[in-house]
Amino acid sequence: MARGVTSSVPDFDDFYRDTRQRLFHCLYALTGNTAEAQDVVHEAYARAWQRWSTVSGYDDPEAWVRTVARRIAVSGWRRARN
């Protein structure tokens, strides 16, 4: 079934609502900083939204967002270190 814009919005909203707290807790454990964890979570979900037609078809979209979030956090650490 092809996904149109109108059908993907509620799917993404449900996905976000169901997974955001878990992702935030994971990123807070990695960063130890509430603001940084929130920023990373926001960026990861923004990227998921941009690619939702693809990401929603994965077996585990939450794993994709979690991986992206971890990579964003690591990139931030590397930039801060240099």
Amino acid 7: pLDDT: 52
pLDDT in tens, 36-50: 999 999 999 999 999
> Could you tell me the sign of the dihedral formed by the alpha carbons of 10, 42, 69, 53, in that order?
positive
The pLDDT of residue 8 is 54
Q: Tell me what pLDDT residue 2 has.
A: 47
Q: Find all residues with CB under 8 Å of 44, minimum gap 6, and list them.
A: 23, 65, 66, 68, 69, 72
Below-70 pLDDT ranges, the chain: 1-10
